[in-house]
Copies of this chain bind each other. A is one copy, B any other.
Amino acid sequence: MRISELSRRSAVPTATIKYYLREGLLPPGRATAATQAEYDESHLRRLRLVRALIGVRGLSVSATREVLGAVAEHAGERHQVLGLVLGARPVDEDAPAPGPAPAPAPGAAEVDALIGALGWEVSEYAPARAALGETLETLRSLGAALDPATLRGYAELAERTAVLDLDQLDPDADPLEQAERALLRTVLLEPALLALRRLAQENESARRGG
């Protein structure tokens, strides 16, 4: 297809597509004339993933290029590709830590204990570990700490949510397409899941009688 068709099907303006081509986020098309190139379905899938990484995950162009590079290195390893695209895995796990060893993150011990108790297999570097630990510490500092049994209850519901999330991926889809879908669903569903919790709280509060 021509770049105009690629633009129409992806809803990405032609000028933006040209910018992505110059920045190396999109491989060049097959040249058919001095100023014309043909693009195919793989360009469309890649373009959608680029849009999701930039627009939904909020990555910069250079961070997107790094993620795409790491994805290419792990092509075929579906779990790695998903982790990279979702940001569950850092692009370069072997990068030396900048500066001196960091102090243990707040709440890290509690998070480690939870993950250990559940037997979850998650990267030591998963950014969600720090996000969880910080929230647990904040609640503690406000005198509203969660007890371990309640935290585990929430984690078990998260496990079931993740099963629903993964069930929606088409196992036969192209890995890049699958990764784009997973990213859209993971990030864009977040406000919906929080809204469902608010509605369910209101209902549960009514059910228990004012």
Q: Does A135 contact B (CB under 8 A)?
A: yes
Q: Does A33 contact B (CB under 8 A)?
A: no
Interface size class of A (residues with CB under 8 A): 35 or more
B157 close to A201 (CB less than 8 A): no
With contact pairs A194-B190, A209-B79 given, residues A88 and B201 touching in the complex (Cβ less than 8 Å): yes
A155 close to B196 (CB less than 8 A): yes
A188 close to B79 (CB less than 8 A): no
Look across to chain B and name the residue whose beta carbon is closest to the beta carbon of A183.
B144
B165 close to A197 (CB less than 8 A): yes
B120 close to A205 (CB less than 8 A): no
Query: In the complex, which residues of chain B have a beta carbon less than 8 angstroms from the beta carbon of A165?
Result: 197, 201, 204
With contact pairs A154-B164, A158-B193, A192-B132 given, residues A205 and B82 touching in the complex (Cβ less than 8 Å): yes
Query: In the complex, which residues of chain B have a beta carbon less than 8 angstroms from the beta carbon of A197?
Result: 158, 161-162, 165, 186, 193
